[in-house]
Structure 1
């Protein structure tokens, strides 16, 4: 037991002396502790380890976990939520903040299941913890599948598939559209009742939207409007001037911006070649990503112009 390292505990107040004393009064054999093999850090079972030491026992049963530090912490939180001395609400909330910070790719429902919180609470924790961090477009759910945060595009793909062949099994529709089986079922029911396949709160101003709480007749969705953007008269010359600006060239963030702007350059010839070379089975995915990137740059432009009081 001398090789063990104290736990990276999710308990803000540390170990509970009362719980240790309670375990000492029991004659029952202690369940195995859980140890991170790479670091020999106790993941779950510090109270049991303390009891074994106080009893003078030379060894304690243990199970080993092989994985990264973040995964080990998530496992520690899950274990302490599921059994033993329950974590307090403050402990669970702090644990969720740490998981959101180090694993932003995990969905709110997934983190909620680990920390013993509701998905709404985790969503609030995410907004509070990382207010300035760009949010990912997709997250990993409890089943390990990657799903978009905004399922609007997936719902519209599912609607097209169902309209083309109403007899297609929903499981196949869900897989092809990149949505859950439950979402595919909801899309089918909405189409049957003549409603938009995307709920009002998820339309974000796209074609087919309506007021929340009102059933809107379904129309096949078109592209989301991006606002009236005036094309720049000399894009290449502007890029050259930006690249020569020392305030951008000699800062890391400035160089990143220049690289991103340069990567967006598309002429008519390249556009035609790219379009012609997208395989038919990937058209929806590429188009959805292009729209998402366009929306992101539009939001960037709006926020940038608002700094000088000249909104788009």
Structure 2
């Protein structure tokens, strides 16, 4: 596995990490297989995909997986949102200092570790001044509970404000071949801001929630799968968006790789500060995803991918 720097920390991580949250979703308890997921997490560590991303109840599973291998893992988790109504999948934002302290203590207990490597503010609470929230996050670093801080779902202006108070090590946001918002404005976009500040950019959903792999059908989603309420996954939209996958598959065939590997390699090509975290519970897909670090896209490939048609349907 090729390595990349985690911000300005001096720590190296695998160029591709692992998103773990989908391994233990509360709305799919019947299909959970914790033993299988623990094996996948350990396989990721074996292969060098050591940036492990989690949050909330999933932390208990990750803690179990890394027991005995703590020094090999770079653990990233997040406070800042809390469940309001699990049946409706409703959440609320809470950036209060009291909540952040309580959340950090709870995360450490669930993970069964002494310090969190990378602690993201999951979402910024508009009811609490960012300076107050970020100051409380910085106190967690001072108390030795957290090593480094990150932002999730923030704007460039918010990242600048936070960075002036305490260094932003990483920003996590969605980036994929059908969602390039983080690239908007080039040097003024979030990916460009991270490069200029020496921060890492961590793309979530680099495979477009599975669509860019070219393996999904509209009739295959389990009951409760959140994608059923996503406009891009409605049957008509999926059929229209197949033209995006067709181009990705053409590039994949040219390089003798899979569409998923092309999608991840494209994300990696957006800068050395980029470390994608595709999620999977499947060993085969994990190995396929991590092997994308060795895929090199030619100028011809990048041109074809740059001119993909716009997706049909809003993101949410």
Do they superpose with TM above 0.5?
no
Structure with greater helix share of residues: 1
TM-score range, shorter chain: under 0.3
TM-score when normalising by structure 2: 0.22
Larger RCO (CA under 8 A, 6+ residues apart): 2
Structure with greater strand share of residues: 2
TM-score when normalising by structure 1: 0.22
